[in-house]
Structure 1
Amino acid sequence: MMDPKLSDAVLSLPVGQLVLHVLDTGQPMSSAQEAPVGKLIRAAAPIRGNGQTDRVFGVVVVSSYVPEVLVMKMDGIAKQFEEYRQIISMKNPIKGGAYLFVAVVTVLILFGATWFGFYVARGITVPIQRLAEGTEAVAKGNLDVNIDVKATDEIGTLVQSFNRMTADLRTSKSSLEEVNMSLVRSNVEIDQRRAYTEAVVETIAAGVLSIDMAGLISTFNPSAERIIGVKGDDLRGRPVHDAFKAFNLQLFQKAYDQMLQEQTESVSMDGQMETPNGRLLTVGLNISRMQNEAGLDLGFVFVFEDRTEFIKAQKTAAWQEVAQRIAHEIKNPLTPIQLSAQRLRKKYAEKSTGFDEIFDQATGVIISEVTRLKGMVDEFSKYARMPLPQMRKASLHDIIEKVIS
């Protein structure tokens, strides 16, 4: 078959090679040949018989002329297709390179991010670790901890706050140690003073009884036990009113009530009292308020002493002085009486003529001096009286037994 538009020159191009190839192979084949003003496209296909045979009986050749314009377009398309095929063939290497580039960039980014993360974490964890170590050291008592971290963020502020805290703790510890040493010295001095005061109270001859602000007896020294005849353990810690009433310490109760009523700094009182063991004592008592350096009341202190023997000694001395004066006053009138009696005796022995006159003079002197002596005795009897009896309850049976015995 021939295209009627084809010229004889185009159709005269050889087709034998194409036909031989189809006959030999039995397969269709096409070819493009250059024509003077375009391209000649030829296709050859085998002609087979009917049935099962593969025998080729002939060849059909079809020729088509492609103008030059269309050839140029086809060449452009073919060229672009070839370029596309080349691009397609280069797709995997480019894609692999792109993947590799992305992978490298990703690895670099991951490495940079990891390094930056470690750097940032190190900037956080190192100060925090040092803070933890410093805190543990401070907890163990080491206040000389100073963390040196160069940072301007919140971690740096935290470290600076920690350093200021340890500095303040060192200052406070130093101040506390100084105060503690001062307190220790003060306590030692107070203990020494207390021991000295207790030694004085224990050894002083006067009795000492103290009452705290709660109204309880807190001090009762050995001298007080000896004077009153009561054990200190029986009084310490007891309410003052109960103790005074239980042991019949009326003089103490009277002085204490007067102290509370008058609100004075001290009260002094002398009087007689009977101890629980039956002794009658003359007691000199002084009660004073106890105050601290700030002027606050701490309680009351009783200082008392047994003046019984002292009063007896005073009375004995007074009686001695009185006796001496009485002896002197008695001696004065006795001398004229003695002289008058001696004169009477002498004149009587001499049988003197003036005996009556001398007798009258001598007896007058004797009567005058005796009257004077009697007046002295009467005056003395007004002051030198026996002590008045003191009434108290007693057992009549005991009195009778004492009289009988």
Structure 2
Amino acid sequence: MSKNLLVVEDSKPIASVIKQIAESLKYEVTVATSLAEVEQILQGDQQFFAATIDYSLPDADDGEAIQCVLSHGIPGVVLTGKMDEPTRQKILAQPVIDYIPKENSQAFLYLKRILHWQLTNSQNGILVVDDSASARNHIVELLKRRNFSVYVADNGKSALELLKQQKNIKLIITDLEMPTMDGIELTNEVRKIYNRDQLAIIGISGASNGIHSARFIKNGADDFLRKPFCPEEFYCRITQNIENLSNIEQIQKAANTDYLTDLPNRRSFFQAGEQHIAKYRDKQVPYALAVLDIDFFKKVNDTYGHEAGDHILKVMALYLRKHMRGSLMARLGGEEFAMLFPGIDEDQLYNKLDDLRREIAVAQIAYEDNHIPFTISIGVNFNGEGTLAQQLNQADVALYSAKENGRNQVAIVGGEE
């Protein structure tokens, strides 16, 4: 669902650039070129998710538009050509998301980052840990301007309990001096559970002793802020740590996901599959490992082209998601897929896989001007022994049997004799 953005800007070229940036992020944009126009728009029924606000307008040259927009509960990013300290302090004294000097093209790149994170920050939980209610409330208010999901605790032990309950927490901001469990102890305990790829920690302290920043970092924190801190620096450090986690997550996803079908890839399947099988064995849960191959896939590529072949692979992934919910699925490579699923007996397993096979066999997949028929063969290892690789080899033996016996069928090894 798109969000409404109010762009308050009297320069048509700048307004056009901001509009293009916002629309690239799926915002719906409304432009106002004067304070009078802003007031008229805000009197209407339209609700705005955020606003960009030019500091100087033809009928409001001293930041009057900022207060006007903020008074309607709309989070605002201020853009200004003024660089003097009094103007900066005047802007920061108001509950703005941020301010951006109009110095060069970097200003618009920074604005794009802010608008992007304003849309997505609600997915990121931040835990604020401080025994001072006033200090906690100040940090919470700053974070809520940026649309984060915020949780609070007044000591380290309470923070650890919250961390168990709230799985979306990506960042902890913790004070040093606290009763029960201080910030250093909390950092140490958190790092026993979460590594730096999973969760970031920022230590804060009002103590003048410079050693505390080093203590925090050496005990597993990612960053440090000294009280009282500047809101600009606070936001920069928060954004940097959240972006780092996001970048790591994207890299890990790229490393573990098949680029074409968006299913897990072979590497990911082996890593997760070994863990799943160990759990099934410990709990004595029946499970099956299946290998699926598209019959005569080379003929599809030769007849209809490789792009058509890619389309068939994507469609195959959709069929797997439809029929094999609850299973671990992957594209092993080429036209070969794998599935690992628990809690099913041999008859149920056969029926489930044969339903998938039959539905595909009668389908004619539309691609451009063609309707492409294809079939699949499936080999299954039921309650296998040995490593995942060894069990896959056994499933491949069953798959070879299905191919040899005419394709378009399911063959099972293992299970009840």
| Greater helix proportion | 1
- TM band (smaller chain): under 0.3
| Greater strand proportion | 2
Normalization by structure 1: what TM-score? 0.19
Normalization by structure 2: what TM-score? 0.19
Structure with more contact order per residue of length (Cα contacts < 8 Å, sep ≥ 6)? 2
